[in-house]
Amino acid sequence: MDRNRTVGTVAAGLTALALAVTAPAARADDLTGTPTPPGSSMSTGATAESTSTETSTTTTTSTAPSTTTSSATTTATPSTTTTATTPPIPPSPVVIPAGSEGDKVKNLQVRLRLVKPSYWTLRISGYYGWTLGQGVLAFQRDQSLPQSGVVDQRTWNRLVALTATPTLAKEGVSGDIVKDLQVRIRIVRASWWPLRVSGYYGWTLGQSVLAFQRTYDLPQSGVLDQRTWSRLVAMTTTTVTVSTTSPVANIRELQRRLAAKGFWPYAYSGVYGWTLGQKVLAFQRAYDVPQSGVVDSRTWARLRALTYTPGTFDKHRYNAGLRPLLPTLASLDKRCRTGRVMCVDKATRTLTWVVDGKPLSVMWARFGGPGRETREGTFHVSRKYEYVVSNLYFTPMPYSMFFSGGQAVHYSSNFARLGYASASHGCVNIADHAQVKALFFSVRVGDKVVVHP
């Protein structure tokens, strides 16, 4: 009897303990809405009842009640499972639909080719067909983008980012680079910049840049990026005429011509250094020439046009120690265009040797001073003397070719020494010994001599 009372007391204690442990878990299930595991009771009373029965059975068959309590507690605790889900990729609006055509499609084809030539190997047609769609699909696949074969905003943004180069100038800026841009784009096509070179990047200039980009298969941005600038510079660059390695006389001529326009206040050193390059750059900026800092043929033509009048004496070239430029046949007097002619031009102070309509050589010439002028007209060589002394002035006249009485074409050491600071007594003086010697052995008696103003 006492033994039965003791067993009942122990069972009652174990039941109370089980209720105390499982109650917080049950409340937690109610609060979170976690489903009750299969086989579990929905009420505390049922749990207590089940536990009591299990405890009674365990107490009867085992002497380790603590183990039984732990088992009952574990059974009463529910288990939960969390499932992770990947959020869907939001849709991206279509930028260039398949089947479309125009400048946007040309832009797409250009940019695809820049990323990888195999994306677009055909000409820039501006039509979005099946082949272009396959190129877009390959790009999307390689860039881990949603593969649709259609240019949506996500695909377009990636493509633009991969083909962008640094921006050098854009709408709203001003300065020398914008002036250079306006000058160069006008050279490529005058209609792209018919306005004055202002140095300001406005909407109109942006449209001109866009037209240039479209015409020459460049990414269309309307801003001056590095790729656009490189193409523009390449298209407007001409051969270098005067450089750091040019002869001293050519550099002196450059310095003299710059000085004539106020860009060279220094001595005519014949040295092409950093300072001379900066003066060339200043000239280019002032006279709307592409700004390179080097004297290319376009810069030189502009400078020479500003410092020389065709058909006149070129004092800058003479003073620099250079020979005159060989004239074209069309620029010579009509009487000099046929036969064998020594064509003497008083305006340019030159003598040109012409054979059968082809100018062969040209040299500086000096004529008679006031009261002793060199006669003008058409004459013929009457006699030649390799070395003779003047009967009137007792001065040597090497390589004389007489054409009008005592007047002759000959070498003059006085001309070589004093230049145009002095004058002849009526003869045509030549200062270059080598040139007049070669001329003497080329000219024949009877050849024509034309002297014109």
Tens of pLDDT, residue by residue over 101-129, are 999 999 999 999 999 999 999 999 999 99
How confident is the model at residue 74, as a pLDDT? 40
pLDDT, one tens digit per residue, over 196-232 is 999 999 999 999 999 999 999 999 999 999 999 999 9
**Cα first-last separation, the chain:** 160
Task: Please tell me the distance from the alpha carbon of residue 452 to that of residue 446, in angstroms, as a whole number.
Answer: 19
How far from chain centre, in Å, is Cα 186? Answer: 16
Which residue has 């002497």 as its token pair? 63
Q: Assess whether 120 and 45 both reside in one domain.
A: no
How confident is the model at residue 89, as a pLDDT? 66
> Quick check: is 440 in a domain?
yes
> Quick check: is 334 in a domain?
yes
Regions of the chain short of the pLDDT cut 70: 1-89, 393
Task: Please tell me the distance from the alpha carbon of residue 296 to that of residue 239, in angstroms, as a whole number.
Answer: 5
Q: Which amino acid is at 402?
A: F
Task: Please tell me the distance from the alpha carbon of residue 267 to that of residue 252, in angstroms, as a whole number.
Answer: 9
Q: Which residues contact 411 (CB under 8 A, 6 or more apart)?
A: 397, 398, 399, 429, 430, 431, 433, 436, 437
CATH code at position 392: 2.40.440.10
CATH code at position 255: 1.10.101.10
> Quick check: is 100 in a domain?
yes
Query: Which of 319, 353, 368 is at the close of a domain?
Result: 319
> Quick check: is 89 in a domain?
no
How confident is the model at residue 21, as a pLDDT? 40
What stretch of H or E contains 342? Answer: strand 340-345
> Quick check: is 87 in a domain?
no
Task: Please tell me the distance from the alpha carbon of residue 260 to that of residue 283, in angstroms, as a whole number.
Answer: 12
Which residue has 């106020």 as its token pair? 262
Q: Assess whether 422 and 339 both reside in one domain.
A: yes
Q: Assess whether 254 and 306 both reside in one domain.
A: yes
Q: Assess whether 350 and 415 both reside in one domain.
A: yes
Query: Which of 46, 76, 106 is at the close of a domain?
Result: 76
Q: Which amino acid is at 50?
A: S
Q: Assess whether 426 and 391 both reside in one domain.
A: yes
Q: Assess whether 266 and 315 both reside in one domain.
A: yes
Question: Which is it for the CA torsion 303, 307, 313, 317, positive or negative?
Answer: negative
Q: Assess whether 340 and 441 both reside in one domain.
A: yes
Task: Tell me the sheet residues that pair with 357.
Answer: none
Beta carbons of 263 and 282 less than 8 angstroms apart: yes
Task: Please tell me the distance from the alpha carbon of residue 283 to that of residue 286, in angstroms, as a whole number.
Answer: 5
Of 432, 428, 425, 430, residue with least CA distance to 452: 428
Q: Assess whether 228 and 265 both reside in one domain.
A: no
Which parts of 177-282 are beta strand (E)?
Answer: 224-225, 240-242
> Quick check: is 84 in a domain?
no
Neighbours of 138 (CB within 10 A): 17
> Quick check: is 83 in a domain?
no
Q: Assess whether 41 and 59 both reside in one domain.
A: yes
Task: Please tell me the distance from the alpha carbon of residue 116 to that of residue 430, in angstroms, as a whole number.
Answer: 66
Q: Buried b vs exposed e over 51-61: b needs ≥16 C-beta within 10 Å?
A: bbebbbebbee
Q: Assess whether 138 and 156 both reside in one domain.
A: yes
How confident is the model at residue 15, as a pLDDT? 45
Number of domains in the chain: 5
Task: Please tell me the distance from the alpha carbon of residue 155 to that of residue 311, in angstroms, as a whole number.
Answer: 64
> Quick check: is 124 in a domain?
yes
Q: Which amino acid is at 90?
A: P
Which residue has 């300001």 as its token pair? 200
DSSP H helical ranges for 33-64: 44-61
pLDDT, one tens digit per residue, over 296-326 is 999 999 999 999 999 999 999 999 999 999 9
Torsion of CA 129, 134, 139, 141, to 10 degrees: 140
340 three-class SS = strand
Query: Which of 265, 293, 319 is at the close of a domain?
Result: 319
Token pair of 101 as six digits: 């055509």
What stretch of H or E contains 181? Answer: helix 176-188
User: Radius of gyration of the chain from Cα atoms?
Assistant: 50
Q: Please write down the long-range contacts of 52-61, taking CB distance under 8 Å and 24 or more positions apart.
A: 52/11, 52/14, 52/15, 55/11, 55/14, 55/15, 55/18, 56/11, 59/7, 59/10, 59/11, 59/14
Q: Assess whether 178 and 158 both reside in one domain.
A: no
Largest CA distance in the chain: 177
Token pair of 45 as six digits: 């009373």
Q: Buried b vs exposed e over 199-233: b needs ≥16 C-beta within 10 Å?
A: bebeeebbebbbbbbbeebbbbbbbbbebbbebbe
Q: Assess whether 43 and 113 both reside in one domain.
A: no
Domain span including residue 7: 2-76
